[in-house]
Structure 1
Amino acid sequence: MLNKKKLIPVSLLTGYLGSGKTTLLNQVLSNQKGYKVAVIVNDIGEVNIDASLIQKGGNVTQKDENLVPLSNGCICCTLKVDLMKQIISLAQSKKFDYILIEASGICEPGPIAGSICMLDGTDETVNLPAVAYLDNITTVVDAKRMADEFGCGDALLNENMDEEDIENLLVQQIEYCTTIVLNKTDLVTDEEKKNVISVIKALQPKAKIIETTYGNVDVDDILSTGRFDYEKILESAGWIQAMQGEGENSEDHDEHEEHHHEHDHEHEEHEEHEHHGHHHHHHHHDEGEAEEYGIGTFVYQNVKPFSKQKFEEFVFAKWPKEVIRAKGLFWIADDPQTAYIFEQSGKQKTATDDGKWIAAFPEYERKQILQMNPDIAQAWHPVYGDRVNKLVFIGRNMDKDAIIKALDDCITDEAK
């Protein structure tokens, strides 16, 4: 149980390069409303430019020890330990009542959130002092960049990153947050802005969206919001909501994340498989707005395996350009033991080994798991067990029937 009374709250600020994070940070620090805020600024270069800009704004200074620059690395990976040390130090100094972290523009928010949550005292296996808790994750989104990328189709170009890496990072930053600041709305038309918001809501339907220019936001929307919940954020992304059938086919189950082959996992929804081995359903997160701008979500499901060759051909040669985001589980006939996670953001597509299906476990262990998890037992297929291809698609003006047919064409009966 998280006891917040003795812990210092932490707010994480993320967003791609040039989105306006530092401008927003300075706006917040100029209107602190009595908060004593310490700031940690991460920059991947040897010189922390953002820290210099914040000092120039006259809000915090390194001399007063309330500005901590973390340079030459990312706090989501190489500087993770340094970040935790600085949070502990600031919290134990008793000089501050809030910590605000500005992550580098190329940081993934998930690992950073995990590091901060290790300091809240809820995990007794972690030998770290309980000093802080994560209160809010704010992602700053450049409305103009989003309009160009998802609205007009123009490529995002950066000399240091591939286009597909940028698209993937933007999606991750939007999916893993509790507050979205849509910045630079003065640079897009009302139609483009509504278009962008429809995409954001499809990717992350649970976050609060704040529209602004020049990073102008109310402090209360960034600090002491109480919005972050570790369990809820893991299930808040649009693809997970669709996987769970929230909306048309909503049912109340726990643990619908994809790692359903693990021992303690509750299986996916209780719906029965149709006689031909698969079913599909379709729903929108924000019905009126989503329909108006062509944003749709659907789940493809089929218990029979993919042919590795045919699925790879679909993914790398026939992938529909209208798909913005796709994620889910699949299995292939050549390797029936292994559950794979497929993930796509923009042009980037990956498939990773996620361990064994429960059906591949030794019989005694499998029986034990099924006895302990009636949901899994109820959904168990008499031939394939818990093996399933279950993929969520989010996109604009998708030809759902064509995608389903293309995936059905990848199915084979030749499982080993």
Structure 2
Amino acid sequence: MTKIDIISGFLGAGKTTLIKKLIEEAYNGEKLMLIENEFGEIGIDGGFLNNSGVEITEMNSGCICCSLVGDFGTALKDALAKYSPDRIIIEPSGVGKLSDVIKAVENIEHEVDIKLNSSVAVVDAIKCKMYMDNFGEFFNNQIESANTIILSRSQKLSEEKLELVVSQIRQHNSSAHIITTNWEEISGKQIVTAMERENLLEKELLAEEKEHHHDEECSCGHDHDHEHQHQHHDKECDCGHNHNHGHHHADEVFTSWGVETPKKYSKEEINEILKFLSETSDYGIILRAKGIIPCTEGGWINFDLVPGEYEVRIGVADYTGRLCVIGTNLDKDKIEQLFHI
């Protein structure tokens, strides 16, 4: 039987980083297949995973949860027949609805030998409240549909703010495991244990209870529901859309701009471009920008941008430079001019 793990997460949450960690630390010895689904014209993340020994199938013609729902079952059955993997990791588009991806898998469970093993939502702890307020139809759906919620960048929050984030998530999902520890402090196997709903601590405590023949109420005395002031990042979206009402496909709310280019950029130039995208609204509401591009000083540059911040680092070469921007009300002409395309 092939296990199916769906690892969702809103734009820039860290899905690919998590998947790499799980492949390296938890899925050793398994025959894996990764199915990626990028929203937009250019698939970026495949280049980060193509040296991991995992068969990657990128589907760029639309979100699994949108136009590919009907075709997804056929694609999955073909993949099973061709590769017979032990485990398939599905990485849906960041703007997809996890519930629809789950439904697509469940629709063919009776036809092929598969098991929906886990449904995960990777959540950027810093931006959780902002995304809940402004893109709830998509963001909250991922939280509500997940059996495990894995917080990224939790180490950047104070204990008080982290508790508030957990409380906000619990309002949408009261039963999911929530991983709050910094990923660098725990192993991939520990994460998979939570994803597969095996709570080792719970098992140990139950064994102790059985051994000592007692069943007591919790007496810790803590009030776990705290209310705190909103974080600085809890901003209202000014894109003009009401994202929390009605039913939309991702391509009705989000737009993308992407190109492949051999153009070289300097680090200074990329930092300046990302500063413009991050600090002004001249180019639309930018939710995510990502690139793998050759550098004028030699080597390659990788960059990531999410609202309010960005990172530029040295990366590995790819077959050509690739740039992608996702957001709402994008002015694609201005973005092209900004990148000198």
What's the TM-score bracket when you normalise by the shorter of the two chains? 0.5 to 0.7
Contact persistence 1:9–1:224 (CA under 8 A):
no
User: Normalising by structure 1, what TM-score?
Assistant: 0.46
Map of 1:11-410 to 2, 5 A cutoff? 11-31=5-25, 32-55=27-50, 58-60=51-53, 66-93=55-82, 95-121=84-110, 129-146=111-128, 149=129, 155=130, 166-213=135-182, 217-219=187-189, 221-222=191-192, 226-227=196-197, 288-290=223-225, 292-293=226-227, 348-350=244-246
C-alpha separation in 1, matches of 2:31 and 2:165? 35
**Unmatched 5+ stretches in structure 2:** 199-221, 230-241, 248-341
What do the CA deviations read for 1:309-356 (whole angstroms, capped 9, x no partner)?
Answer: xxxxxxxxxxxxxxxxxxxxxxxxxxxxxxxxxxxxx972349xxxxx
SS at match of 1:203: coil
SS at match of 1:289: coil
After superposition, the Cα gap between the structure-2 partners of 1:29 and 1:142, relative to the gap in structure 1 and judged at 3 Å, is same
C-alpha separation in 1, matches of 2:192 and 2:37? 18
What do the CA deviations read for 1:135-154 (whole angstroms, capped 9, x no partner)?
Answer: 100100101112xx3xxxxx
C-alpha separation in 1, matches of 2:164 and 2:223? 12
Q: CA deviation at 1:185?
A: 0.8
C-alpha separation in 2, matches of 1:69 and 1:347? 27
C-alpha separation in 1, matches of 2:99 and 2:150? 18
C-alpha separation in 2, matches of 1:224 and 1:194? 19
C-alpha separation in 1, matches of 2:193 and 2:180? 17
What do the CA deviations read for 1:350-394 (whole angstroms, capped 9, x no partner)?
Answer: 49xxxxxxxxxxxxxxxxxxxxxxxxxxxxxxxxxxxxxxxxxxx
After superposition, the Cα gap between the structure-2 partners of 1:28 and 1:175, relative to the gap in structure 1 and judged at 3 Å, is same
Aligned residue pairs total 211
Computing the radius of gyration from Cα coordinates, the structure with the larger value is 1
Contact persistence 2:63–2:96 (CA under 8 A):
yes
Contact persistence 1:42–1:70 (CA under 8 A):
yes
Contact persistence 1:92–1:131 (CA under 8 A):
no
C-alpha separation in 2, matches of 1:79 and 1:347? 22
Identity of aligned residues (%): 23
Give RMSD over aligned pairs.
Answer: 3.0
- With 19-28 and 203-212 compared, the bigger mean Cα shift is at 203-212
After superposition, the Cα gap between the structure-2 partners of 1:189 and 1:169, relative to the gap in structure 1 and judged at 3 Å, is same
C-alpha separation in 2, matches of 1:79 and 1:220? 33
Q: Where does structure 1 differ by over 3 angstroms across 4 or more consecutive aligned residues?
A: 212-217, 219-228
Contact persistence 2:9–2:15 (CA under 8 A):
yes
**Unmatched 5+ stretches in structure 1:** 1-6, 122-128, 150-154, 157-162, 229-286, 296-345, 352-416
Contact persistence 1:119–1:133 (CA under 8 A):
no
Q: CA deviation at 1:211?
A: 1.7
Counterpart AA for 1:68: T
What do the CA deviations read for 1:237-294 (whole angstroms, capped 9, x no partner)?
Answer: xxxxxxxxxxxxxxxxxxxxxxxxxxxxxxxxxxxxxxxxxxxxxxxxxx9212x227
What do the CA deviations read for 1:141-200 (whole angstroms, capped 9, x no partner)?
Answer: 101112xx3xxxxx55xxxxxx96523322111111100001101221111101101111
After superposition, the Cα gap between the structure-2 partners of 1:87 and 1:205, relative to the gap in structure 1 and judged at 3 Å, is same
Higher relative contact order by CA 8 Å / sep ≥ 6: 1 or 2? 2
After superposition, the Cα gap between the structure-2 partners of 1:225 and 1:180, relative to the gap in structure 1 and judged at 3 Å, is closer
Counterpart AA for 2:14: G
SS at match of 2:245: strand
